Amino acid sequence: MGTLLLFKELYLNAFKGLGNTITANIFKIMSWFCFLCIGIIIYAFIYRLATGFAF
């Protein structure tokens, strides 16, 4: 739980110093897209491991 709170604090502090709200929103959208892509990659890897895919 502490690690999750640390990531949340890092995420919130990353966008505090940006002056332009449009730029901050674009970076937020891009970061959520990257989180989603990483989640899909982790899901696909675990699925392949669980179904016995031969690497």
pLDDT at 54 over 80: no
22: domain range? 2-50
Closest by CA position to 14, among listed 26, 27, 33: 27
Are the C-beta atoms of residues 15 and 28 closer than 8 Å to each other?
Answer: yes
Query: Highest mean pLDDT: which of 2-6, 11-15, 51-55?
Result: 2-6
55 domain residue, yes or no: no
Phi, psi of 51 (to 5 degrees): -95, 0
Number of domains in the chain: 1
Reported confidence tier of residue 55, pLDDT bands at 50, 70, 90: low
pLDDT at 13 over 90: no
Closest by CA position to 15, among listed 3, 4, 26: 26
Average of pLDDT values for 34-53? Answer: 93
CA gyration radius, the chain: 16
- To the question of pTM greater than 0.75 for the whole model, the response is no
Write down the pLDDT at residue 17: 76
- How is residue 36 written in tokens? 């989603």
18 domain residue, yes or no: yes
37 domain residue, yes or no: yes
